[in-house]
Amino acid sequence: MTVQADPRESADQPDQSDKVRGKPSGLGRWPKILLGAVAAVLLVGLGFRILVGSLNPHLYAGTVFQFDEPAAPLEGIYLADGSEVDLTDYEGELLLVFFGYTFCPDVCPTTLSGAAQAIEGLDADTQERVNLLMVSVDPTRDDPETTNRYAQFFSPQFLGASGDVAAIDRAASLYGIYYDIREPEAADQPDNYLVDHTATLMGITPDGVLRIVWPPDISPDLLRADIAELLS
Amino acid sequence: MSAGGLLGLVWRIVLVTGAAVLALVACSGSADGVVATDAWARPTPPVGNTAALYVSLKNSSRIDDQIISASAEVCQELELHQTVLTGDVSSMPAVEADAMSIAAGGTLLMEPNGLHLMCLGLPAPLVEGEELTLTLTLAQAGDIEVIVKVQQR
Ligand SMILES: [Cu+2]
């Protein structure tokens, strides 16, 4: 044993300078091993993601309906150019529908600017295939032009529409929208009143079906992911 | 006047004096006890004449405080409101007194779809980059002025 050790020691002696020179290459091996390990972890991770992605379909943040009835026509609801809203104009694209009113200080601006942010974050091609129509639930103060100016403030892509009480009542009931015009808060300011209303965002998919409903406080990120999936 | 009546009167004087002293102490001790940590409003559309102002207030004093009233020159009316989502239906009842209170050491948070100051009768839309001055009257801290920044968020 000692005999074996002796030649090694003697052989190591002249190698010492080599070893010193070799040290950097010895240490240099570690980054390579680390790099390999990191690459392996990344590859496994990527593989896992692809596997999970193919097994798990997109989880919608909105409530998805499983029926194929075409969305109800918005009879008597007019756009700013004087034409009646025709849902077939939006076939092949996504139409988001929102019922609100222009004197709405909190919920409507929050929902509409959130929708605008969601859409702005999509790629240009997808953006072009998204429309948003705001239908007023305040026939007295909101004519089509007023509603349209309000909607376009949040995005030039948005449209506003309105109609008479009967048309708005019908549209609201067909779309499951509740609304209630409240008494003015001060008797001397009859124009300052609030409207309680369902503040969901609804999605009519390219096949013309009202397929999805989002809650009023949906985050722009979740909304964007759902829109991207609906148009993919 | 009976002894009992006299005692009642004395008590009333003591109470009123005590309250006045307390109020004085409170005013001097917590003049800057409540500060706005964030105050903003979204730019508003060219139609409709309403806006929501969101002001978060921190009470670093040792006395609970409460918003008594609010006003801003640009708002014909300014009311403290709470947006309430019942299911998906939104309504905006004027808030109960406890929603206007700021506990000692606590913060009152206003935010979209929640507590907000609702401004009615705006003469012109709020424009990004503008600032408006808001005066809040608090039960303890008295009047505080808050600069509200108009910005997209
Ligand atoms: Cu309000």
pLDDT number for residue A190: 82
pLDDT number for residue A1: 40
Q: A212 and A103 in contact (C-beta within 8 Å)? A: no
Q: How many CA atoms lie within 13 A of A228 on its CB side?
A: 15
Q: Is residue A129 part of a domain?
A: yes
User: Are residues A47 and A76 located together in one domain of the fold?
Assistant: no
Q: Maximum Cα–Cα distance for chain A, whole Å?
A: 113
When pLDDT is averaged across residues B80-106 and rounded to a whole number, the result is 88
pLDDT above 70 (res B127): yes
β-pair partners for B38: B56
Instruction: Find the A221 Cα to ligand 1 centroid distance in Å.
Output: 25
pLDDT number for residue A47: 63
pLDDT above 70 (res A209): yes
CA distance B141 to chain A (A): 28
Q: Which of the 8 DSSP states describes residue A122?
A: S
User: Are residues A37 and A127 located together in one domain of the fold?
Assistant: no
Q: Helices A107-120 and A144-154: crossing angle, nearest 10°?
A: 50
Instruction: Find the A194 Cα to ligand 1 centroid distance in Å.
Output: 8
* Cα distance between the two ends of chain A: 73
Instruction: Find the A198 Cα to ligand 1 centroid distance in Å.
Output: 15
Token digits of residue A28:
């240099």
pLDDT number for residue A38: 63
pLDDT above 50 (res A132): yes
Q: B138 and B34 in contact (C-beta within 8 Å)? A: yes
**Percent of chain A scoring above 90 in pLDDT:** 69
Q: Do B77 and A102 touch (CB under 8 A)?
A: no
When pLDDT is averaged across residues A14-32 and rounded to a whole number, the result is 50
User: Are residues A68 and A47 located together in one domain of the fold?
Assistant: no
When pLDDT is averaged across residues B29-50 and rounded to a whole number, the result is 86
As a whole number of angstroms, the distance between CA B136 and CA B53 comes to 12
Instruction: Find the A204 Cα to ligand 1 centroid distance in Å.
Output: 29
pLDDT number for residue A8: 43
- Among A155, A134, A151, which Cα is nearest to A202's? A134
Assigned CATH topology for domain B30-150: Immunoglobulin-like (2.60.40)
Q: Do B90 and A198 touch (CB under 8 A)?
A: yes
pLDDT above 90 (res A43): no
When pLDDT is averaged across residues A54-59 and rounded to a whole number, the result is 78
Residues 6 or more apart whose CB falls under 8 angstroms from that of A114 comprise A218, A219, A220, A223
Structural domain of A38: 22-55
User: Are residues A175 and A100 located together in one domain of the fold?
Assistant: yes
β-pair partners for A204: A95, A210
When pLDDT is averaged across residues B82-89 and rounded to a whole number, the result is 92
User: Are residues A104 and A191 located together in one domain of the fold?
Assistant: yes
As a whole number of angstroms, the distance between CA A134 and CA A152 comes to 10
- Among A66, A134, A103, A111, which Cα is nearest to A215's? A111
User: Are residues A187 and A211 located together in one domain of the fold?
Assistant: yes
Q: B115 and B80 in contact (C-beta within 8 Å)? A: yes
As a whole number of angstroms, the distance between CA A225 and CA A217 comes to 15
pLDDT number for residue A208: 97
User: Are residues A218 and A147 located together in one domain of the fold?
Assistant: yes
To test the contact with chain B by mutation, choose from A104, A106, A175 the residue with the greatest count of B C-beta atoms within 10 A, namely A106
pLDDT number for residue A191: 81
Ranges of H-type helices in B49-149: none
Q: What is the pTM of this model?
A: 0.76
Q: A111 and A199 in contact (C-beta within 8 Å)? A: yes
Phi-psi region of A166 (alpha: psi -120 to 50; beta: other; left: phi over 0): alpha
pLDDT above 80 (res A24): no
b/e A122-138 (16+ beta carbons within 10 angstroms → b) = beeebeebbbbbbbbbb
SS (H, E, C) A148-186: HHHHHHHCCCEEEEECCHHHHHHHHHHCCCCEEECCCCC
User: Are residues A36 and A148 located together in one domain of the fold?
Assistant: no
The residues spanned by each domain of chain B are 30-150
| Least confident piece of the model among A2-16, A159-173, B49-63 | A2-16
Q: A115 and A157 in contact (C-beta within 8 Å)? A: no
Tokens 């690459």 belong to residue: A39
pLDDT number for residue A97: 98
Tokens 């100051």 belong to residue: B117
Q: Do B79 and A215 touch (CB under 8 A)?
A: no
Q: Is residue A4 part of a domain?
A: no
Q: A56 versus A68: which is more confidently predicted? A: A68
Handedness of CA B47, B48, B53, B54 (dihedral sign): negative
**Is A189 an interface residue toward B (CB < 8 Å)?**
yes
| Least confident piece of the model among A38-47, A61-70, B115-124 | A38-47
Token digits of residue A202:
């609804």
pLDDT above 60 (res B49): yes
Q: Do A109 and B152 touch (CB under 8 A)?
A: no
User: Are residues A87 and A154 located together in one domain of the fold?
Assistant: yes
User: Are residues A153 and A119 located together in one domain of the fold?
Assistant: yes
pLDDT number for residue B150: 97
User: Are residues A38 and A123 located together in one domain of the fold?
Assistant: no
User: Are residues A80 and A37 located together in one domain of the fold?
Assistant: no
Average pLDDT, chain B: 83
Q: Helices A107-120 and A220-230: crossing angle, nearest 10°?
A: 50
When pLDDT is averaged across residues A180-196 and rounded to a whole number, the result is 86
As a whole number of angstroms, the distance between CA B16 and CA B141 comes to 20
Residues 6 or more apart whose CB falls under 8 angstroms from that of A149 comprise A80, A160, B45, B46, B47
When pLDDT is averaged across residues A83-88 and rounded to a whole number, the result is 98
pLDDT above 80 (res A77): yes
Whether ipTM > 0.85 holds is no
Number of separate domains in chain A: 2
> Which residues of B lie closer than 8 Å to A, measured between beta carbons?
42, 44-52, 76-77, 79, 81, 83, 85, 87-92, 112-113, 116, 118-121, 152
pLDDT band at residue B119, thresholds of 50, 70 and 90?
very high
Residue A86 belongs to domain with CATH number: 3.40.30.10
Instruction: Find the B146 Cα to ligand 1 centroid distance in Å.
Output: 19
For β-strands A78-79 and A158-162, DSSP reports them as antiparallel
Q: Is residue A15 part of a domain?
A: no
Q: A220 and A117 in contact (C-beta within 8 Å)? A: yes
